[in-house]
Structure 1
Amino acid sequence: MKNILVPLGLSENSITLNRVEYAINLAKELGGTVYVTQVFKELPRSGSLPTVNKTLKQITASSIEEQLSELDKKGVEVVALPLEGELLEAIPKFNLENAINLIVLGPENGGIKDPYFLGETSGSLVKKTEIPILIVPENYRFAPINKVLMAIKSGSIKKKNALAPIKEILTTFGAQMKLLQVKTTDFLPGDSEIQKDLETIISSYKSSENATLFQGVLEHLNANHPDLLCVFRRKRGFFAKLWEENTILKRDFESRIPLLILRGSD
Structure 2
Amino acid sequence: MKSILVPLGDSEKAICTLQYAIDFASMVKAKIYVIQVFGTTKVAGALKNIDELLEKDSKEELAHVLASVDKKGIKIVAKTIKGQVVDSINRIATQLKVDLIIASAKNSAADSSIYVGKITGGLVKQTELPMLIIPKGYKFKTIKNVLLSIRSGVIRQSKVLDPLEKIVKIFNANVNLLHVITPHNTAEDNLLHKDFETISDTIVNSENATVFQGVLEHLIEVNPDMICVIRRKRGFFNKLWEQSHIKKIDFESRIPLLVLKGNL
Do they superpose with TM above 0.5?
yes
What number of residue pairs does the alignment pair up? 257
In structure 2, the partner of 1:226 is 224
> SS at the partner of 2:188?
helix
Name which of structure 1's ranges 132-141 and 165-174 shifts more when overlaid on structure 2.
132-141
Deviation string for 1:236-260 (max 9, x for gaps)? 4342431321121111111111100
The one-letter code matched in structure 1 to 2:109 is: G
Check 1:175–1:89 CA distance in 2 against 1; reply closer, same or farther (3 A cut).
same
1:135–1:258 CA contact under 8 A, matched in 2 = yes
Deviation larger for 121-130 or 219-228: 121-130
CA distance in 2, matches of 1:209, 1:198: 18
Flag the 1:107–1:55 CA change in 2: closer, same or farther, 3 A.
Answer: closer
Deviates more, 1:20-29 or 1:83-92: 83-92
Taking the TM superposition and a 5 Å limit, the aligned residue runs for 1:7-156 are 7-9=7-9, 15-41=13-39, 60-108=58-106, 110=109, 114-156=112-154
The alpha carbon displacement at 1:30 in A equals: 0.6
SS in 2 for 1:211: coil
* Matched-pair contact (CA < 8 Å) for 1:232–1:238: no
Do the aligned partners of 1:232 and 1:261 also contact (CA within 8 Å) in 2? Answer: yes
SS for the counterpart of 1:200 is helix
Contact 2:59 2:80 in 1 (8 A): yes
Which amino acid letter does the alignment assign opposite residue 189 of structure 1? A
**Given residue 201 of structure 1, which amino acid in structure 2 is its aligned partner?**
I
Deviates more, 1:159-168 or 1:148-157: 159-168
Report the Cα offset of residue 54 of structure 1: 8.9
CA offsets, 1:73-118, max 9 Å, x none? 011111212223112221232233210111112223638x611111
Q: Is residue 259 of structure 1 aligned with residue 239 of structure 2? A: no
* Distance (Å, rounded) in 1 between the aligned partners of 2:247 and 2:75: 35
Q: Aligned equivalents of 2:90 and 2:117: distance in 1?
A: 19
Q: Is the 8 A contact 2:7 2:89 kept in 1?
A: no
Contact in 1 for aligned 2:38/2:85 (Cα 8 Å): no
Residues 3, 27 of structure 1: alpha-carbon distance in 2 compared, 3 angstrom cutoff: same
What amino acid sits opposite 1:183 in the alignment? I
The 1-side partners of 2:82 and 2:188 are apart by 45
Worse overlay, 197-206 or 177-186: 197-206
How far off its partner does 1:223 sit? 0.9
Query: In structure 1, how many angstroms separate the alpha carbons of the residues matched to 2:57 and 2:128?
Result: 30
Match of 1:49 in 2: none
Percent of residue pairs identical: 41
Runs of 4+ residues over 6 Å off in structure 1: 52-56
For the Cα contact (< 8 Å) 1:61–1:80, is it kept in 2?
A: no
- Flag structure 2 segments of 5+ consecutive residues without an equivalent: 43-49
The answer to whether 1:5 aligns with 2:25 is no
Name the CA distance, whole Å, in 1 between partners of 2:11 and 2:211.
29
Give secondary structure in 1 for the equivalent of 2:33: strand
Aligned to 2:254, the other structure's residue is in SS state: coil
CA distance in 1: counterparts of 2:250 and 2:160, whole angstroms: 25
2: CA distance, partners of 1:55 / 1:114: 30
Supply the distance in 1 between the matched residues of 2:94 and 2:103 (Cα, whole angstroms). Answer: 20
Does the CA-based 8 Å contact 1:214-1:253 persist in structure 2? yes
The reply on whether 1:237 has 2:235 as its aligned counterpart is yes
- How big is the shift at 1:22? 0.4
* Counterpart-to-counterpart distance in 2, 1:42 and 1:203: 49
User: In the alignment, which of 162, 165, 169 is matched to residue 163 of structure 2?
Assistant: 165
Question: Match of 1:265, SS?
Answer: coil
Unmatched runs of 5 consecutive residues or more in structure 1: 45-51
Note the C-alpha offset of 1:122.
Answer: 1.7
RMSD (Å), alpha carbons: 2.5
| TM-score between the two structures when normalised by the length of structure 2 | 0.88
Provide the rounded CA distance (Å) in 2 between the counterparts of 1:6 and 1:198.
Answer: 29
Displacement after TM superposition at 1:2 (Å): 1.6
Q: CA deviation at 1:57?
A: 5.8
